[in-house]
Amino acid sequence: MRIDILTLFPEIFDTFEKWSIVGKTIEKGLVSINKVNIRDFSQDKHKRVDDYPFGGGPGMIMKPEPIYEALKSVNTENSLTIYLSPQGKVYNQQLANQLSKEKHLILLCGHYEGVDNRIVENFIDLEISIGDYVLTGGEIPAMVLIESIIRLLPGALGSKESYTDESHYDGLLEYPQYTRPRVFKGLKVPDILLSGNHKKIDEWRKYQSLKNTYIKRPDLLKKKELTDEEIIMLEEIKREISNKL
């Protein structure tokens, strides 16, 4: 996979490229990340990339010419161009799964009061928001996308189970996890996890995953098509919780 980041602040990504899974994935040659400074494409002698909005209003708007030239410099027939915007589609694991199958992503990081809308309307394939709030620029959202996407690439993690078991991958939250010591301040690890019975452990984990989702994020269950087994488990979970009230 190739990822081009169009930004006014490329230096922000210097440490990010070397960090944890991101750095390891780059080292393995599974992804290449290229930072493009939009300011380099400004024709203004002072390298300005913004101007006042037509019609008045607060703040400054990023000019279309430098962005267009920056996009043109990296665009290929396989490119998917994404604008990180608070007006975009809210990001989730399903979208991360889809984007991980792309060959080339171009991430446009806006700044100031946003970018000239002619760029958005004519040269952007997808607008993405990482949540219903506003940030100063698109650099942090771009990092969120990159980290969540490249960890799904084959070979990025130790095994496929490293991400398929995680929260949201299959529409549910992850089951509780424990490590040594077996007893911490009188609190014990569930006996089933020490039993060595992998079939029972898998059943426990599926049950706990459903339970976690039902308690913490019941909205996710409305979007997921449950299996017959999961429906039976969910009814049992509801009875268990009801009995405790």
**Is 112:51 a contact under the CB 8 Å cutoff?**
no
Q: Is 156 within a domain?
A: no
Sign of CA dihedral 116, 117, 118, 119: positive
Separation between Cα atoms, residue 190 and residue 196, nearest integer Å: 12
The whole domain housing 191 covers 165-244
pLDDT tens, N- to C-terminus, the chain (245 residues): 999 999 999 999 999 999 999 999 999 999 999 999 999 999 988 999 999 999 999 999 999 999 999 999 999 999 999 999 999 999 999 999 999 999 999 999 999 899 999 999 999 999 999 999 999 999 999 999 999 999 999 999 876 655 555 556 688 999 999 999 999 999 999 999 999 999 999 999 999 999 999 999 999 999 899 999 999 999 999 999 999 88
Question: Of 150, 185, 219, at which residue does a domain stop?
Answer: 150
Element housing 159 (H / E) = none
Q: Is 133 within a domain?
A: yes
For the chain, the domain total comes to 2
Q: Is 157 within a domain?
A: no
Q: Do 185 and 115 share a structural domain? A: no
Q: Do 12 and 131 share a structural domain? A: yes
Q: Do 182 and 64 share a structural domain? A: no
Element housing 202 (H / E) = helix 198-216
Could you tell me the pTM of the whole model?
Answer: 0.87
Question: Of 125, 150, 175, at which residue does a domain stop?
Answer: 150
> Which candidate, 42, 47, 40, 37, places its Cα nearest to that of 14?
37
Q: How many CB atoms lie within 10 A of CB 47?
A: 13
Longest pairwise C-alpha distance within the chain: 72
